[in-house]
Structure 1
Amino acid sequence: MRIALITAQLSFRRMAGVWSTVTALAEALCHGAVDCRVLGLADPAAAEPPLAALPFPATACRVRGPSAFGYAPDLLPALAATDPDLVHLHGLWTFPSLVARRWSEARRRPRLVSVHGMLEPWALRRSAWKKRLARLLYEDRNLAGAACLHAANLAELRAIRALGLRNPVAVVPNGVALPAADRAPPPPAWRRELPEGAKALLFLGRLHPKKGLFELVEGWGRLRPAERGGWHLVVAGWDEAGLVSRLAARAAALGIADRVRFVGPQLGAAKAASFAHADGFVLPSFSEGMPVAVLEAWAHGLPVVMTPACNLGVGFAAGAALATEPEPAALARTLAAFAALPAARRRAMGAAGRRLVAERFTWERAAAAMRAVYGWLLSGGTPPSCVTIG
């Protein structure tokens, strides 16, 4: 079977989580003997790795006009030239939604839509009027006409059903690769800049208000020096919304500028090194689909502090994470408790997270489930066990 994966941005800068998910899934599908092609929108503001270096065919189409919508007239012809049996759209609210629907309806071939947390209540309230307009003009029709929708977890399934959508929904978690447990890469540059013996609590991801970064810095500032001990907060990621200067100013006002490091994007080997040389991971997000960064932290054996909005409650049940809320007082309490944990307890939390990933969240498992969904959509028969009907 030939599958086309479409995403709004072939860019680590603009859609780090979605793009990393698409590339990892595409690679795993190719290993599983699926003819997989990736199409999307070029990001003119970012220096990207050559598409030829990717282990699957990829096409980036130039955007004309406002980048937020992503009008790319070459995308539909590129999809038609690819001539897939099925199109798998990743993400909502942009021009690729129109392209996927038009191609699917014209060719009478199925489309699968991965919502990537974009139908969560918090996400819908963000720029609400724009999303209401997009739903009216094209997105409701795109979603309602999809042969199947994809949710990464049961919370996403509930959000889909809350909008009245009755399509079949495949519930397939995201995955990550398990790094070797017996060897670590050299430390990243930021690690070498910390004082000797310092411990690093890492945030790594898209720098966006929904990630709870203002609340994180505020909560970190409420800890007494004795509660922080030797811990430093390390914030890594693309400054998508221009937040770093404001976050740094707030850290300075709180008197903790020496305990908060903004280290920029960490990609490829630098990202792996950042996880390998951190001592804990934090994601105080207001809204997520299924955050790959938490799975990567667990894969590297890190204990995690996160909100229930991360939709990884299995981590709390397994003892791999501490729960918090995305507001300063709650974060201060949880971070103080985390910093006070004995080293043995933190190691046990990280080991529990790594077991979770090995058992439930590998890309091999995710790709196998997706292959089963693709096969069902193309050939019919009994739906896979991951698919909920109606």
Structure 2
Amino acid sequence: MLCAAGADPVIFALEDLHSADDRSRFDGIPVQLGRTLGPSQIGYSPDLGRKLAAADIDLLHLHGIWMATSHLAERWAAVTRRPYVISPHGMLDPWITQRGQAKKAIARLGYEHRSWRRANLFHALTRAEAADIQRETGNDAIAVIPNAVDAHLYDNEGRDSATARIVYLGRIHPKKNIDGLIDAWQILVKQRGPAAPQLTIAGWGDPIHVAALQARIDLVLDSRLSFTGPVYGDAKRALIGSATALALPSHSEGLPMVILESWASGIPVAMSQHCNLPVGFTSGAAIDSGVDAHSIAAALAVLLDESGAARQRRRAAARDLATQCFSPQIVSEQWMAAYHRILERNS
């Protein structure tokens, strides 16, 4: 999006096992990788710091916090006196800040407080996240800009099939409430017997969380419940397009891309309010699942049992949101305006 809008981005990132594969996603945009020293979850990389210091860039945009990359970014901004933007990507949500408090206290004292004070602008994906940022950092220079989805990449025909399918796609992590979703699906199995929907879970995560999920599925012993692992590209789009509904009953989110991708495909969503997309509820593209197994089951039942005409209205609402509120053109215009304002104030 930024290239199309006339910007010249350069990506700085920590090197990991997937760096070679990920590089191809950036379509020729320069990528500078830094080797890490010590635990990967800390992300300490003097190598990346040197590459950042040698780069000739007008503005630095940090994605994510709680890692040593915050220190590198803050030091760059202090030395160059050039603008510095932070996107926490949901990492200041209370559900997140209340976990691992000792490690986060060390990060705050070690580098995050300095980084937050140095930032010219914070980026929030939603108004709820903007409130979290202001509360945690005391900084009220916040731009609310959503993620974008290119609806042209997704099939929006809305295929019906004899077998209903609920799809979960995303990170395998307790905050996603996948156990609650499985509990809800088992309620539907008891209620509907052979007519119960399939539940397909796809995604990636820490090995311990993936192993726990697989162990639970193995105990259920029902072929209608499956875990496919991570899916990408055409396979991901095909899985979303095969769904009767997507489910995301999370305890905590920033702004989930998978919901935007589902709407681009014309697929309605059962999601919790923690997904921070209330426009989905008001438009009819989504239904509130809550986070309790019974409320999730009830929400899924509504989407499964709707008439053909009602389903078509939801599909149309979903597609309209993707094209009218979250299109790359609309979002890139907001980003370029924000970047230009910062650069002009700093000149």
Same fold flag (TM > 0.5)? yes
Alignment of 1:110-149 (within 5 A): 110-149=83-122
Residue 215 of structure 2 is matched in structure 1 by 249
Q: Pick closer, same or farther for the CA change 1:166–1:221 going to 2, 3 Å.
A: same
Residue 29 of structure 1 is matched in structure 2 by 2
Task: Tell me if the contact between 2:189 and 2:196 (Cα under 8 Å) persists in the aligned partners.
Answer: no
Residue 168 of structure 1 is matched in structure 2 by 141
Task: Tell me if the contact between 1:144 and 1:167 (Cα under 8 Å) persists in the aligned partners.
Answer: no
Q: Pick closer, same or farther for the CA change 1:149–1:368 going to 2, 3 Å.
A: same
2:278 is aligned with 1:313: yes
Among 338, 343, 347, the alignment partner of 1:378 is 343
Alignment of 1:7-86 (within 5 A): 28-44=1-17, 48-51=21-24, 54-86=27-59
Mapped to 2, the partners of 1:182 and 1:115 lie a distance apart of 31
Mapped to 2, the partners of 1:170 and 1:310 lie a distance apart of 19
Residue 280 of structure 1 is matched in structure 2 by 245
Residue 349 of structure 1 is matched in structure 2 by 314
- Cα displacement string for residues 148-172 of structure 1 (whole angstroms, at most 9, x for unaligned residues): 1000110011111222523411111
Query: Per-residue deviation at 1:327?
Result: 2.3
Mapped to 1, the partners of 2:230 and 2:218 lie a distance apart of 22
Mapped to 1, the partners of 2:300 and 2:44 lie a distance apart of 43
Task: Tell me if the contact between 2:116 and 2:137 (Cα under 8 Å) persists in the aligned partners.
Answer: no
Among 304, 308, 320, the alignment partner of 1:339 is 304
Q: Pick closer, same or farther for the CA change 1:55–1:224 going to 2, 3 Å.
A: same
Mapped to 1, the partners of 2:154 and 2:111 lie a distance apart of 47
Among 234, 242, 245, the alignment partner of 2:200 is 234
Mapped to 2, the partners of 1:227 and 1:341 lie a distance apart of 15
Count of residues paired in the alignment: 343
- Cα displacement string for residues 333-359 of structure 1 (whole angstroms, at most 9, x for unaligned residues): 222333222233223212201101111
2:141 is aligned with 1:156: no
* More helix by percentage: 2
- Cα displacement string for residues 83-138 of structure 1 (whole angstroms, at most 9, x for unaligned residues): 11100001001121111100000000010001101101111112122112211211
Task: Tell me if the contact between 1:207 and 1:241 (Cα under 8 Å) persists in the aligned partners.
Answer: no
Alignment of 1:256-295 (within 5 A): 257-295=222-260
Q: Pick closer, same or farther for the CA change 1:52–1:264 going to 2, 3 Å.
A: closer
CA RMSD of aligned residues (A): 2.2
Q: Pick closer, same or farther for the CA change 1:346–1:128 going to 2, 3 Å.
A: farther
Mapped to 2, the partners of 1:156 and 1:144 lie a distance apart of 18
Q: Pick closer, same or farther for the CA change 1:262–1:268 going to 2, 3 Å.
A: same
Q: Pick closer, same or farther for the CA change 1:181–1:75 going to 2, 3 Å.
A: closer
Mapped to 1, the partners of 2:340 and 2:190 lie a distance apart of 57
Mapped to 2, the partners of 1:74 and 1:46 lie a distance apart of 15
The answer to which of 160-169 and 302-311 deviates more is 160-169
Mapped to 1, the partners of 2:155 and 2:58 lie a distance apart of 42
Query: Per-residue deviation at 1:77?
Result: 1.6
Unaligned runs of 5+ in 1: 1-27, 188-195, 382-390
Q: Pick closer, same or farther for the CA change 1:53–1:310 going to 2, 3 Å.
A: closer
Residue 5 of structure 1 is matched in structure 2 by none
Mapped to 2, the partners of 1:51 and 1:45 lie a distance apart of 11
The answer to which of 355-364 and 172-181 deviates more is 172-181
Task: Tell me if the contact between 1:179 and 1:300 (Cα under 8 Å) persists in the aligned partners.
Answer: no
Task: Tell me if the contact between 1:51 and 1:59 (Cα under 8 Å) persists in the aligned partners.
Answer: no
Residue 368 of structure 1 is matched in structure 2 by 333
SS in 1 for 2:52: helix
Please tell me the residue identity of whatever aligns with 2:93.
E
Residue 193 of structure 1 is matched in structure 2 by none
TM-score (normalised: structure 2): 0.92
Q: Pick closer, same or farther for the CA change 1:46–1:40 going to 2, 3 Å.
A: closer
Please tell me the residue identity of whatever aligns with 1:67.
S
Query: Per-residue deviation at 1:297?
Result: 0.5
Please tell me the residue identity of whatever aligns with 1:249.
A
